[in-house]
Amino acid sequence: MSASVEVSTPAFGRPAVSIFSSMALSAEAAPFTPGGGDCSQLDSLSDTEKQFSRCAAKLRALRADSNQLREELNQLFDQLLSENYNRSCELPITIRPEEVCILLKHTSGLVPLNQEHLVVKFCQLVHHLLNQLKVIMDEQTLDVLVNYTANALKQCSTWTHSDVLLALSTVVYGNGSQCHQLVSDLLSEDGVILQYSSPSQPNIELRHVALTCMANICLRIPGQPPLDDHYRSVCFRLFLKTLQSPKPPNTDDLFYCMVIQAALKGLQFCLSGGKWKFGAGEELGSVLAALKRLMFQGAPGLSVDWPEVIYPAPLSQYEGLSPPKPAESPKTVESSTEADKTGKASGKKKRKSKGKGKKTKSEESRVDDREEEDKEGVPEVYRRGGDGSRADGETLPKPSALFLYPSWKMNSSESEFSDLEGNAQSKLRVYQCRVRQLALHCMLAVVKAVEKRTLYGYWSSFIPDSPTGRPPSLTLLTIILKDPSAKVRLCALQVLSAILDGSRQFLAAAEDTASPRTSYTPFSFMLAAAIRELHRGLSLALLAETSSQTLTQVIKCLAFLVANAPYHRLRPGLLSMLWKQIRPYVRHRDVTVRGSVLRLYGAIVTAQAPLPEVQLLLQQPENLGGGSISSSVALQDPALSWRHRNGAPSPARTPAASSQQNSCTHSPHLPHTPREEENASPWLLKLCVSLVTQPREDQSDSEGAGGAAALEPSPVRLEALQVLSHLVRGYFPLAQSSLFEVGQVSIRCLGETDPSIQLHSAKLLEEFGAGIIQQYRAENSVPESLKVPVNQVVVFWSEVLSGPLNAALQNEQHPTLQASACDTLASILPQAFAQLPDKTQLMCITVLLGLTYTENYLVKTAAVRALGVYILFPCLREDVMFVADTANIILAALDDRCTNVRAKAAWSLGNLTDTLIINMQNVGVDFQEELSDMLLLKMLQAATRAAADRDKVKCNAVRALGNLLHFLRHSQITRPVFQCPLEDAVRALVKTVQSEAAMKVRWNACYALGNAFRNSSLPLETAPWSQDAFSALCHVVTSCENFKVRIKSAAALAVPAQRSCYGDTMRFSCVWRSLATALENSEDAVDFLEYRYSASLRHTLSEALLHLLSLSELQDMAELSASLAGEEGRGIKEHLIKYFKEDEGEGKTGEDGEEKNSGEESRHPQQRLGRLQQTLARLTSLKAEEEGGEEEKKAVVHFLEDLLKICEEF
């Protein structure tokens, strides 16, 4: 094996781990295939292993002082190098890695460095064995070979370094972090690798091997530490410098492509598996500029002045296009492609066409490999709807339409990977294709490594805006639509998908519902234009793509776009067009395409649901759901059936039929589906139900269905069930007419053996139950005529609960299914549950109680949560025995070692204590007396312990504490056994209020203290913990950055109904000053997002101040009069005037109803004035014992009178 053969391969080291199977050191290296298979050539295998054993034995027997050492080593090396040990062949190779390591370690001591020919052969042997046998070395072998090759680089002549570096690159593949000294020596300023990999290195072969070695050093195998950041930065800069450097003169194009491939691989290894650490600004811009240029490497017809750096900009940065060249023949264009080092070529190629140019002819794409290679080297751009040719003198009156049309559509063959050795031009195109592919892989690594908000500034360089009269920019869509290689197009779609994924926050600014201003184009309009252009380009790719794998990625990319675009801020029409375009692909032969189409439908029905445009699409009759788009993009007759065919197999088509329709659709001569009734279920719902339940009549799918009718493959059925769930969640009013149909589908799927199908059907039932519950919530105000009648809901759940759901609840082999079945039980409408038969109710309760004892945390979490839902049911919450049983289950779950179980247990405990408060208000003392004191004590102690747990447990534990402190009776509070737990509970709330916990936990703790203050039996005036509680609330109401915490604390301070609860004058004055200060600072927000709560905060603080005034006594007048006088008093008066001017409900917006429980009893302005009048009358009637107190009282009364007079005027 010669050195030139070894280094001429474009790929790198041995795939030690399966995830890197595509990174072989040579073109001959193939993915690892485990041995042990059935082999018909056992004799040949035996000969190979015997040859290795004989040679290995002879090598191990040799000694360094042997007289014939050189000749014997030469002979043995030649014999070992002549064997093929590649594990990809049909013969299983059983040579153990230990034997190879022992052989190489021993041989390294036999080959002196002064025998350079032997050194070269030994290095070739190291590469040959490690690469083909996929040997993972032990540490000792690694150290020996690293030291040997490093010394060879230092002592041997330069002509040997190519083979030495090749062996070293194989040894260090994925082991760079373990070779500290080697890396330090090789990557130092005067290191050998840095010298050989420099762009100034004249030996291109040596440069390629050095870059490959450096890339393998940077590679990180999963589970190993990464390379040191310093050396990674050194490699990164060199790789980038290589990509930016021009091709040296008189350099073979193939070798230069190999150098670029090595640099791209290295850059990808540097970026993979971590965040961007190579600086911002120009560093990132330089990488993006280099990658963008290489994405179009070898693309014919381009003559572009590429920028060296891409800068963040909101507008597209158009590359400078050179003037168009006259048309050339295909041969001339190919010559131009070969001569241009960066893929700059121009010219247009004519072709003959049969039928319309926009149609794919799969038969023609399989003609002759050599002819297809010539075709795909030069993508053509032609008119849509024309004869497929292009005039020589055609200019760019419509640049975008011409530029974006898929020019590879007639040249979709992948023949560039076959029979290339005899055609240098075809081989060059293959290498250039690999460069483009690696550049996109590298771009994908950049997208994953760089923060989203940093990448937003570079969107305009890779995503087009709307078509204009300007020359079209080169973007990812250009590759998706024009690159002749399906693999390159696939990579570009993956990059675009990664860019779109998680971009919802950025795209949320897009809007084009209003006409843009003529003076300038708003950024929101530019974003909207980019979204529309993405829709247009991906729709063209959808129509033109013939590779099933790439087509799947097109649809997935559309799903990412739909999931992140704000369609409620865009002009309608985008989703309607897409809806019609993707409908025929539900019938595609490839199962992955069908599954991705359903996933896209799911994204559409979840996008800002309910969306009016989608609602109209769902309401269209079936024969309009796939209506024609235009003559140029319509795929089928709008009324074609999506299920049935006339018996003709779909793959077999005549050329005429192929010229009229896309290969993924069915024949236009098929019978139409009958028109559905106006009030029928949505077409999409019927489609998904049919895909799940009905057998496929077309059994020509790639999954191998044949003979008897069979259901759709499992991935398609799973996606259909998920679309049903999304549809029910987002558009329940349209789906509710199919209540029993969906129930039958779920029951049928629950009875199947596939646990995935069972799981998704249980989730579908849960979504349907949740939709019914939402209809009956009081805040939704759904008219009775639009609700699903309770009697139908009862029948629905009776059928479900009498079916296979019980088996799913008891399926211990699949705990996820059990957990989902528990969630399904929790989604029963309370009114319907009450009307179920007693035995059915008892079954649900018994099963849930039993599942809380399981060891699986998923099942236990779901069962505890379901009990937390049931405890709020009106038909169950007054049952003391059920309440007690549920409480004991929850108390046991609060001690579980799993955090998720404890979190759901705390949530359920909060619901249970809510039930206690409801029963106390509705049933009265009787319920309180029936509930065991010891059970209450256990709940109080358990909630106190949970309040010291993690935040996800603590937020509901403090809620339960507030309810329990509110529920306790005077007889229980005075019992000694309750004294210490009660104090511990209050101090746990105080500690939580003062802590640095999550804000939700703190405002729940504030609300819990206010809830406890409602219990008139609590000794707030004498208890030692009372002062701590008021101090904590006074502190957070003035100092907490979160306004919702301030609102809750202010509401809690306004809860006590008697003056004595506030303690002495000093505590009362402290509360008043805190509220007054908080009101004065109510607009001082550190976080801008808190401003939305400022109105609600001022409203609550005003209520609290008026509440204190209504309870104040003469001893408080001194503090009140001092506060109400001067500047502070004027500020308080202004806020109180605004409070009295508010309409009913004003000041409560933005809180989702959370602050409406702040203790306010009169929200109407007239009622507020009435309370003010009552407060004024009460204070006026107070008689001071001392003359000084009377003056202070008069000051307060005068303040209120003035306030009342102002308020009465308006």
| Cβ density class 859-874: b for 16+ within 10 Å, e for less | bbbbbbbbbbbbbebe
CA distance 630 to 621: 19
Q: Which residue has the higher pLDDT, 407 or 912?
A: 912
pLDDT at res. 697: 62
* CA 589 – CA 663 distance, rounded (Å): 9
Lowest mean pLDDT among 45-49, 195-199, 323-327: 323-327
> Could you tell me the pLDDT band of residue 1035, with boundaries at 50, 70 and 90?
very high
Helix, strand, or coil here: 672? Answer: strand
Q: How far is it between the farthest Cα atoms of the chain? A: 126
Parallel/antiparallel/unpaired status of strands 304-305 and 320-321: antiparallel
pLDDT of residue 327: 41
Distance CA 328, CA 488 (A): 26
Given this model, what pLDDT does residue 359 score?
A: 39
Give the pLDDT confidence score for residue 1181 in this predicted structure. 86
Which secondary-structure segment (H or E) carries 1003? helix 999-1013
263 contacts: CB under 8 Å, gap ≥ 6: 211, 215, 239, 242, 243
CA–CA separation, 444 and 440 (whole Å): 6
Distance CA 795, CA 739 (A): 10
Residues 446, 476: Cα–Cα separation, whole Å: 15
Calculate the CA 739 to chain-centre distance: 32
3-state DSSP call for residue 300? coil
- Round to whole Å and give the CA distance between 885 and 535: 56
How much is the pLDDT for 185? 81
pTM: 0.77
pLDDT tens, residue by residue, 95-119: 888 888 998 998 998 898 988 999 9
Backbone phi and psi for residue 710, each to the nearest 5 degrees, phi listed first? -135, 155
User: What mean pLDDT do residues 1011-1028 have?
Assistant: 91
pLDDT tens digits, one per residue of 758-775: 999 999 999 999 999 999
Cα separation, 7 vs 561, whole angstroms: 42
Q: Would the CA dihedral through 322, 323, 324, 328 be positive or negative?
A: negative
Whether the per-residue pLDDT at 500 is higher than 50: the answer is yes
Q: Give the 3-state secondary structure of residue 994.
A: helix
874 close to 868: Cβ distance less than 8 angstroms: no
**Shortest CA distance to 283 belongs to which of 307, 306, 305, 309?**
309
CB–CB of 85/93 below 8 Å? yes
Kindly report, residue by residue over 808-847, the tens digit of the pLDDT.
Answer: 999 999 999 999 999 999 999 999 999 999 999 999 999 9
Are 1121 and 1188 a contacting pair, CB within 8 Å? Answer: no
Exposed/middle/buried for residue 448 (C-beta within 10 Å: 0-12, 13-18, 19+): middle
Instruction: List C-alpha distances in Å: 1012 to 180, 909, 954.
Output: 63, 16, 17
CA 672, 674, 679, 683 torsion: positive or negative? negative
Q: What percent of the chain has pLDDT over 90?
A: 43
How far apart are the C-alpha atoms of 474 and 304, rounded to whole Å?
10
pLDDT digit string (tens) for 692-718? Answer: 998 876 655 444 444 456 888 999 999
pLDDT of 841: 95
Q: Is the pLDDT of residue 677 over 50?
A: no
Q: Residue 655, Cα to own-chain centre: how many angstroms? A: 43
Which of 955, 945, 941 is closest to 998 using CA atoms?
955
Say yes or no to pLDDT of 400 above 50: no
CB atoms closer than 10 angstroms to residue 1136: 25
Q: Helix, strand, or coil here: 305?
A: strand
The predicted structure's pLDDT at residue 28: 38
**pLDDT of 639 higher than 60:** no
pLDDT beyond 60 at 1065: yes
pLDDT of residue 651: 35
